[in-house]
Chains A and B, each alone.
Chain A
Amino acid sequence: MIIHLRIPEGVYLQALADLQRPHPFAFERVGFFSSVLASMGGDQQLVLLNGYHAVPDDHYDDDPEYGAVIGSEAIRTTMQRVLDESRGQFHVHLHHHAGLPRPSRTDRSSLPRIIKSLRTVGPKEASGYMILSDDRAWAEVSLPGSSGPLLAARIAVAGFPLRFLK
């Protein structure tokens, strides 16, 4: 299975701008993209990330051991969005460097649990998590019916110019 992600420029820039804002106590911010799944024929699937949702400041937990910890209200709000909009959700955060980002050990241990919660309420949607850097991106995607997460092969931003983040 080959997975492509496509983001409109406005949504991508909105996410970057939000994730770069300082938080009152957390070291970094997180957000969520809404997603829509479509077939590209053969073994290729397209995930369209068509909306960005910032996590409000008061939905973060103050835990100095981690860059950012979001609380149950943030997760509940995101799960509700899956139910209300019949859309998948992608957790997204920013690594402040150029080049291809990779998930940290903390990302690897904590983010799959969030995705599992989202899959519970939206088993027919594509959900996952994405890490942005200054100029590239990395994402893991859970598709309906798939046994485990799959790495996104391509991530593109439709805008001026076209950007190939991966």
Chain B
Amino acid sequence: MQCAVDPLGHDGPNLEANLVAAEHGLASGFMPMPLAAGTGPATLAGNLVVQNAETLSGVVLLQLAFPGSPCFFAGAPSVIDLKTGGYTGGSPEDYLLAAASTQLAHFYGLPMAMGTMATGAKEPDWQAAIDDSLSTFASVMTSADLMNGAGLLNGSKILSYPHMVMESEIYSIVQKVAGGIEVSDETLALDVIKKVGSNGTYLAEKHTRAHMKEIWRPSVWDRTPYDTWLREGKKGALHNATEIADDILENYRPEPLPEDVVKELRAIVDRADKELAGA
């Protein structure tokens, strides 16, 4: 995945790398990041025109060189901070642009890898929460195919493990919502509703036992009653996420690469170090 040079440009070496990937059948994508009012028009529709042109031009080049090579759209659209001229790292316009560019990618029949989360907040705090929640909502609800950015703070300059866990929780929530509501005779449960009546409880019903596991459960959110929360030291989401991250880092081991692959990778890296030294 390569960033474009906004507005309307591509970097030569980046394009060459894309062409090498396409030649060998590796998936290749372009990620424009025009800042509305800076490297793109202040209006969102105009910003979409710029980023769409940038992505399409890259895709067209690859298809001319290697027809049928796998391509995808990408994006990390944003708006300039009119006070400082800097990158906002989260604004409502970002999510509208993300949603609209995902629609455009699908219009061309191409998948979208959307820059999501990666908040401008400095800490995994309230600001990170609104930014990550709404950006994820926008990407998932418009069916983006991949979301990049989990774990990043301060405009992608800081990586935080607890933050990555918290963002996984956000993803889990939005994924649940995006799953929708199944409406069938079984889920409408009209017989059970009539049986329980207006003042009963569903706790002991067979229907409840059959479906209770479908209810979403949090890993990071705290749902303890106030007194319990107070007694246990006011542990919040960041505390819970830190514990989960620590546990994963201590106990989880990913599937190892076969020995011969490790050896081969090492040799490639060594060779590259020599060949590219001073390049």
Mutual binders A and B: no
Give B contacts to A, CB under 8 Å: none
Give A contacts to B, CB under 8 Å: none
